[in-house]
Amino acid sequence: MTDYHNIARNGLTPDELEKILRRIGKERYHINHPHHKMMMAGKMTKLQLQAWALNRYCYQAAIPRKDAAILMNSKDPVFRAEWRRRISDHDGTNGLDGGVARWLKLATGLGLDEEVVKSERQALWSTRFAVEAYVNFCRQRPLLEGVASSLTELFSPTIIAERVPGILAKYPYVSEETLAYFKPRLTQAPKDSSFSLAYVREHADTPEKQQAVIDALIFKTGVLWSMLDALDYAYGEAGRIPPGAFRGTSNE
């Protein structure tokens, strides 16, 4: 595992910076997490898939808020007009036909109760803390770091390309319609990430800013990784569901 601490101290070219960012993805993106591998191997129970969908909802539901925080930190109307599209992608025209709604459909398609999912009350505390940390990061850090934290989207088409056919093949009770969330993401994410990458390459023009960009992406991989850590601990082999967390539904 590469140590990225102070790695930019002597300054990097944009290409060198991009190379480091892509290496972070290769090493730390949650496609490498045992819980994701378990899902791909078809080894998950319905309860485990439900727990994943219910917890991941907290993340999906917070995406437009973190993007609003990034908008808030930009003084450039051109940037804002471009970034705003992400919020429309997730909230849709009326709040009911975007990515958040599609994730809710995924959750209910797995047999979960819509109100329980939306309340987030049965989500793991670790999930909620990670999501909150992500929104706060985008709110409190400089714009450049908020943009950089979105760069996990560079790697998301790979995980989606693996996840959708994997789930459909291994879990016969999951329909393509239930997974409708992922389809638009395959075109949205590359558009979004190429904008962010170009922005970061252009604006990270000092060693300090380059290090901040690197740290922002590491932080973000930590958000996603820690969410799977918590899921795997609670619902994986250890099966140590914390007090108050989701324990399955009766309406399957």
**Where along the sequence are the contacts to its own copies (CB under 8 A)?**
1, 5, 27-28, 34, 121, 124-126, 128-130, 132-133, 136, 218-219, 221-223, 225-226, 229-230, 232-234, 236-238, 240, 242-244
Closest contact distance (angstroms) between CB of 237 and its own copies is: 7
State which residue, 45 or 136, has the beta carbon closest to its own copies.
Answer: 136
> Are the beta carbons of 185 and 156 closer than 8 angstroms?
yes
State which residue, 102 or 128, has the beta carbon closest to its own copies.
Answer: 128
The CA angle 198-199-202, to the nearest 5 degrees, is 85
Closest contact distance (angstroms) between CB of 243 and its own copies is: 5
Nearest CA among 166, 192, 158 for reference residue 90: 192
Closest contact distance (angstroms) between CB of 76 and its own copies is: 29
Closest contact distance (angstroms) between CB of 100 and its own copies is: 22
> Are the beta carbons of 71 and 80 closer than 8 angstroms?
yes
State the Cα–Cα distance between residues 227 and 66, nearest whole angstrom. Answer: 17
State which residue, 5 or 43, has the beta carbon closest to its own copies.
Answer: 5
Closest contact distance (angstroms) between CB of 50 and its own copies is: 19
State which residue, 178 or 221, has the beta carbon closest to its own copies.
Answer: 221
Task: Give me the DSSP letters along 89-110.
Answer: HHHTTTSSSSHHHHHHHHHHHT
State which residue, 1 or 78, has the beta carbon closest to its own copies.
Answer: 1
